[in-house]
Structure 1
């Protein structure tokens, strides 16, 4: 005898299913026969454990009464079978490697842009994730009724890593930008004291200084910073050391500071997105 049961694989690979197997004559009334169950559970002395499924004991059995339209009744024997998937294999082979790759992608923000390894590192991480996705066809159950949450997680990780590659290439490209023209928006971003308080904009080092008289010190500072293409708020006590001896920054240095700001902003967005994705996956399971 071969029996079948439909599964909801939304919580794969930690899914649990309940199947009901009904046996009995379909058109004979209960006046002709009578089904009796001696016990409320089945005997499992001869049951052999399965390597992928675990049978949840006890296996309940009972007799169900049915009534036809004519008023006559019949009986059926019902066995309630509950099974749970053994998830250790999927935990080691599928879940842990993907989450580990996902967490390792955060290390790209700890690599300096000048090292030249940022793009190569994140591309390697993305390639490793894509290779892992290519092996999932033989692991995921082929079902569209209840799509696994784990499949959504792996898809979200792949999209996230792809966007991280785009962000990394953008940061490296901006860092090595050689245009001498710097727009006003970039000047405001680099010189913003609010972003500096949030540690999104790095503190600017004094590259070249020149002597200035102390009497018109404030006006000279403003003139020199306007020539450099970067303006600062002289009302901030934190930025007062930036006006010592009239600091001057070239365009290449400004592009480097702007690239560092972008890198820190992308890292903040990345950590928030990682927490949201992993938190959603955890609470759905």
Structure 2
């Protein structure tokens, strides 16, 4: 009997204190049930707090992740979360009367919640639903929803590709029957803690754009500012184009009478045409926003086509020029010291072979060759001078080959100037 009273005196007070402690789970659950009953009485499920009047609803859209950007089709896909809160003075309570409970969490079907969506979305792949509703003792209702995946239209400016930046908008508007205002929230504009980085784009900012009332009640537009990460396209697209353009100058170091000179130019030309075809699959088919890179590649393609035409001219001078006698002005030009300015030595005619050992006779023979007529029939003009006639033909052919070298060197200088100018201008325009 004594042990029975000991058990009663020791165990029962402990259990009693545990049951009646104001912070015990049982007491908290009891007060939460009382608060839910209060909500059911003062906050109807299907009407806003102010009934027919307007209700101020505060939103703070946050970008979760940029999923896809398609410049060619003109749309972007993003995962967005829209926290919502509004004030309902009908459901305030004194925490001291309910076990010091300052907030409770309930299901979305317990009270009225505003229906908010992205009005500018082309397609909503994941519908927006509230998952958590938090009610504070001062009457503020905080709603946290699932992530909304939306496909939205945007006009992309790819002028400075691959260093392009874009600004795309999405509109958040009320979707329900009841009239309520949407106000911008007081939270952070772009919460980096919840954003998942994209491997192609960097988010720079998420700004409130404008508070509109033109078409319908109270619609808020937001602007997302993002920038491309250029490394991938610099390695796979821009670098090969620039390298091929620089290598095109090697064609001028081939012999002027070599047919490989033309083949090399045609190869570079075809490579640039392939690059243009590849870029047409990336950029939008628009005439209002044409990338500077496309202008650059088109200019390079035109330059390579002109270089192929120049190779044909040089090759023709070298191989077919001997069919016509070179005029005296051209002969004086290639023999003058002006040729030194382009890195070549002036041309000197070749004397006949039997006078090679005699310096004075060599010079007089050369002068004699140059003074022979060029517009008369060779059988009448050079009768008995077959050796001189043959030597004059050889010198004429050498002069034409030398003239082809001069033209080729001048074209090389012009080519280098054009290449450096194009690369410098393109770099300046795309970076500044």
Q: Contact 1:212–1:220 at 8 Å: present in 2 too?
A: no
Deviation string 1:69-103 (CA, Å, 9 cap, x unpaired) is: xxxxx754342311112222211111111111110
2:398 corresponds, among 249, 253, 261, to 253
Matches within 5 A, 1:1-285: 1=124, 2-24=151-173, 33=181, 35-56=183-204, 58-61=205-208, 64-65=210-211, 76-177=219-320, 178-194=322-338, 196-199=339-342, 202-205=345-348, 207-208=350-351, 210=355, 211=358, 225-227=370-372, 250-285=395-430
Pair 1:65–1:135, CA change in 2 (3 A): closer
**Could you tell me how far apart the structure 2 residues matched to 1:51 and 1:212 are?**
77
Gaps of 5+ in 1: 69-73, 230-246
Deviation string 1:107-152 (CA, Å, 9 cap, x unpaired) is: 0111123554322222222222223333333233332211111001
**Could you tell me how far apart the structure 2 residues matched to 1:75 and 1:228 are?**
96
Pair 1:36–1:13, CA change in 2 (3 A): closer
Superposition TM-score, scaled by structure 2 size: 0.52
Pair 1:228–1:154, CA change in 2 (3 A): farther
Q: Secondary structure at the match of 2:168?
A: strand
> Following TM superposition, by how much is the alpha carbon of 1:201 offset from its aligned partner in structure 2, in angstroms?
5.1
Pair 1:23–1:180, CA change in 2 (3 A): closer
**Could you tell me how far apart the structure 2 residues matched to 1:49 and 1:143 are?**
29
RMSD: 3.4
**Could you tell me how far apart the structure 1 residues matched to 2:247 and 2:192 are?**
47
* Structure index of larger Rg: 2
Deviates more, 1:86-95 or 1:155-164: 86-95
Q: Which has the higher strand share?
A: 2
Pair 1:36–1:156, CA change in 2 (3 A): closer
Superposition TM-score, scaled by structure 1 size: 0.75
Q: Contact 2:255–2:261 at 8 Å: present in 1 too?
A: yes
**Could you tell me how far apart the structure 1 residues matched to 2:194 and 2:420 are?**
48
Pair 1:3–1:190, CA change in 2 (3 A): same
Q: Contact 2:279–2:294 at 8 Å: present in 1 too?
A: no
Pair 1:227–1:140, CA change in 2 (3 A): farther
Number of corresponding residues: 255
Q: Contact 2:269–2:305 at 8 Å: present in 1 too?
A: yes
**Could you tell me how far apart the structure 2 residues matched to 1:7 and 1:34 are?**
28
Q: Contact 2:165–2:228 at 8 Å: present in 1 too?
A: yes
Deviation string 1:17-70 (CA, Å, 9 cap, x unpaired) is: 1223343469xxx9x6362421241335443333432212x42347x45577xx
2:141 corresponds to which residue? none
Tell me which of the two structures has the higher relative contact order, counting C-alpha pairs closer than 8 angstroms and 6 or more residues apart. Answer: 1
Q: Contact 1:42–1:61 at 8 Å: present in 2 too?
A: no
Gaps of 5+ in 2: 1-123, 125-150, 375-390
